[in-house]
């Protein structure tokens, strides 16, 4: 019997006795390979190759709640994550929008479990007002390579984007913010930053509160799910069940709020965990 069959049979037996499915009673340890790329503050990989941010703390608490589950981190990148998924190099990827390049792939996705948005950031200068962001295609833009942006219709091909926009790429929100702060309009006039990242940045650098102008209208708002591979040892329903203990004790909500992020509207009342 394959590990996948053993896992699912164990879950089925547990359901017969418990009256519902739960992964915590599985008799054999199940390894789940998690694809991770830098997406702060949701997920970051530190100098010790450890996952930090909301994802790192969420995985730690889920594993603690389910002693039969072990997560193995598989490093990927924004540009490579779809290819690595298609190649079966990882089983699940947390906090992804199904709209971000997954249309041509066979996958399952949970209900949205997180929400955030991207905003435009510029240096505050005399004469500038919110209309500065009305058409960012006229501005020199600095963005993260491989990220999906609303102004670009979610296109991620750098060569194509360079044809359409005056755009500079990097792999760091911090670098992009510093480019704006340095007032180098020949390189960058507008950076696109997640609202959660900007909030955390300003908490660490309160001296910059009056340095920047932030768009009133976001570049895009997104609801993020967990995406699972069809051949993974767990599916989208299993991943939601893993969250049950963190929802019941309020830990997940506390983590989300601590990292400056938000739960999707109706999530707390619509989450399908078992009520006492």
Q: Per-residue pLDDT tens for 164-216?
A: 999 999 999 999 999 999 998 999 999 999 999 999 999 999 999 999 999 99
Reading phi first (left if > 0) and then psi (alpha if -120 to 50, else beta), residue 95 is in: left
Mean pLDDT across the chain: 88
pLDDT band at residue 252 using 50, 70 and 90 as cut-offs: very high
Q: What is the spatial distance between Cα 241 and Cα 239, in angstroms, rounded to a whole number? A: 5
| Distance in angstroms (rounded) separating the CA atoms of residues 95 and 43 | 9
The model's confidence at residue 25, banded by pLDDT at 50, 70 and 90, is: very low
pLDDT the model gives residue 273: 58
pLDDT digits (tens, 9 = 90+) for 75-119: 999 999 999 999 999 999 999 999 999 999 999 999 999 999 999
- Residue 7 CB-density burial (10 A; 0-12 exposed, 13-18 middle, 19+ buried): buried
Q: What is the pTM of this model?
A: 0.85
Per this entry, what is the length of the chain?
A: 276
Region of 250 on the Ramachandran plot (φ > 0 left; ψ -120 to 50 alpha; else beta): left
Domains and CATH numbers, the chain: 3-115+221-270 (3.40.190.10), 117-220 (3.40.190.10)
Position 10 scores a pLDDT of 38
Strands (E), 111-200: 114-123, 141-144, 167-170, 190-194
């Amino acid at each position: 019997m394959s590990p996948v069959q053993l896992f699912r049979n164990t879950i089925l037996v547990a359901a017969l006795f418990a009256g519902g499915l739960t992964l915590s009673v599985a008799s054999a340890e199940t390894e789940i390979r998690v694809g991770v790329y830098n997406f702060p503050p949701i997920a970051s990989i530190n100098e010790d190759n450890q996952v930090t941010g909301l994802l790192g703390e969420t995985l730690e608490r889920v594993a603690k709640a389910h002693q039969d589950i072990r997560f193995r981190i598989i490093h990927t990148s924004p540009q490579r994550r779809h290819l690595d998924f298609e190649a079966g190099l990882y089983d699940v990827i947390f906090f992804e929008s199904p709209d971000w390049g997954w249309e041509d792939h066979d996958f399952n996705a949970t209900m949205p479990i997180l929400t955030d948005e991207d905003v435009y950031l510029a240096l505050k200068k005399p004469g500038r007002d919110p209309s500065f962001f009305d058409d960012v295609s006229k501005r020199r833009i600095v963005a993260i390579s491989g990220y999906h942006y609303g102004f670009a219709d979610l296109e991620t091909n750098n060569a194509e984007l360079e044809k359409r926009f005056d755009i500079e790429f990097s792999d760091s929100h911090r670098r992009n913010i510093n480019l704006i702060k340095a007032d180098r309009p020949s390189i960058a006039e507008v950076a696109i930053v997640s609202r959660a990242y900007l909030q955390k940045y300003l908490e660490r650098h309160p001296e910059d509160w009056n340095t920047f102008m932030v768009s009133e209208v976001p570049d895009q708002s997104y609801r993020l799910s967990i995406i699972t591979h069809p051949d993974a040892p767990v599916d989208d329903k299993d991943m939601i069940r893993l969250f049950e203990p963190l929802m019941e004790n309020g830990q997940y909500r506390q983590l989300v709020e601590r990292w400056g992020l938000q739960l999707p509207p109706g999530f707390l009342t619509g989450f399908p965990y078992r009520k006492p």
